[in-house]
Amino acid sequence: MQISILARYALSCVAVATLASCGGSQPLVATGAPRPVFGIPARNSASSGIYASEYHNSGSIVYGYRKNNRRNDPPICSESVTYPRGDIAVDGKGNLIVPESFGEFSVFKGPGMCGPELGSIYPCCGGGVVDAASADAANGTITIAAFQDGSSAGSIELCTLKHGCTTNLRNPDMNFVYSVAVARNGDCWASSEQAESMGSGGAVLTYFKDCSGSGQTATGYQNAYAGGLDIDVNGNLVSISATTPAVYVYSACNPACKTVGGPFSLHGGAIYGHLDKDSTYFATADSQYGQVDVYRYSPKAVTYMYSFNNGLSSSTAVAYNPRSKL
């Protein structure tokens, strides 16, 4: 049960406090020291960049930075949100999706950085949204990960801004759901803790063909812990094993996984991370040190490059804009 307790502890801290205040250390940043951030504009004309969520006692912000932030420059823009919970994501059109702590998630207009809010949705089953994926969140389906679906185990929900959440996907092997990824062909995967019937606490990857039905438990999945998912330009599934912390790269997983690379050790503790447009870089929200860690990515190697923390103390999610070309 220790794995399950540690994982639930981490996500509950994301929801109501900061991972830094749940035991994090002082930032260890490869470039300049952190500086206070004042007067960050709400909008910016930049067509690309990197988002990082930040929790404050008086509210919360998702900051936008330039993509290459080796100099630890301050944010270029920001989105005001209600205590971001879990991951953030950018869709195929550059829209930003932010799960929030009161159960809803909000969509902000792309493709430029820090656009106006397009709308918010509350999931159909009160599941506590922690992650989302979409090709076009403004006009199409948004696939969300509900950490806990009401009083039961977590699930995947299919939603639109126009009609809300209409479909709920469950599997008996899934317990608390951490992340979701959707392939170009419409298949999707859920990263979760395994159900008590399987022994409880370990990581489970569930495959849903066409993002429908009851799903299949993936075989050959090596993650010790549940964590964030992404898909690279070659269609490989990039999967974080939180608490380890490490990242694996898999192919197929429909439902049999083939390990392409990993485990690759991460610089600091992370639950979530995302790839850039060309899958050249992979960034994680380093909850251990309250910063963003940037890596050079290939399916065969994930190599730490640098970190930045200007304006951050408790970041738990990060996403590139544009996202990976799945």
Q: Which residue has the higher pLDDT, 5 or 216?
A: 216
What pLDDT shows up at residue 244?
Answer: 92
Q: Could you tell me which residues come within 8 angstroms of residue 152 by beta carbon, excluding any fewer than 6 positions away?
A: none
55 and 19 in contact (C-beta within 8 Å)?
Answer: no
Burial of 45 (0-12, 13-18, 19+ CB in 10 A): exposed
With pLDDT > 90 as the criterion, what percentage of the chain qualifies? 69
How many structural domains does the chain have?
1
306 pairs with which residues across the strands? Answer: 294
Mean pLDDT of 275-288: 96
C-alpha distances (whole Å) from 296 to each of 210, 232, 282, 304 are 31, 13, 6, 6
Residue 273 lies in a domain: yes
Q: Has residue 77 been placed in a domain?
A: yes
Residue 293 lies in a domain: yes
- CA 235 to chain centroid: 18
Res. 158 pLDDT band, cuts 50 70 90: very high
Helix then strand then coil, % of the chain, to nearest 5: 5, 45, 50
Q: Give the model's pLDDT for residue 54.
A: 87
CA–CA distance, 84 with 79 (Å, rounded to integer): 11
Q: What does the pLDDT read at residue 242? A: 94
Return d(Cα 64, Cα 116) in angstroms, integer. 13
pLDDT for the residue numbered 85:
82
Residue 303 lies in a domain: yes
Beta carbons of 98 and 81 less than 8 angstroms apart: yes
Q: In this structure, is residue 326 part of a structural domain?
A: no
**CATH number of the domain within which 263 lies:** 2.120.10.30
Res 124: pLDDT:
66
pLDDT of 132: 96
pLDDT tens digits, residue range 38-59? 567 677 778 999 999 987 655 5
Query: Does a structural domain hold residue 17?
Result: yes
**DSSP code per residue over 249-291:** EEEE-SSBEEEEEEEEEPSS--S-EEEBTTS-EEEEEETTTTE
Query: What confidence tens digit (pLDDT) does each residue in 94-124 have?
Result: 999 999 876 789 999 999 999 999 999 987 6
Q: Within 10 A of 25 (CB to CB), how many other CB atoms are there? A: 11
**Domain-embedded: residue 138:** yes
More confident residue, 65 or 152: 65
Q: How far is CA 37 from CA 42, 61, 72, 284, in A?
A: 13, 12, 12, 21
- The CA radius of gyration of the chain, in Å to the nearest whole number, is 17
In one-letter notation, the amino acid at residue 4 is: S
Q: In this predicted structure, what is the pLDDT of residue 32?
A: 40
Range of the domain at 42: 2-321
Q: Which residues, in sequence order, are bridge partners of residue 99?
A: 105
Q: List the alpha helices (DSSP H) in 77-121.
A: none
Distant-in-sequence, close-in-space partners of 44: CB < 8 Å, separation ≥ 6: 64, 76, 77, 112, 113, 114
Task: With respect to residue 28, please indicate whether it lies within any of the assigned structural domains.
Answer: yes
Region 278-292: mean pLDDT is 95
Residue 23 reports pLDDT greater than 90: no
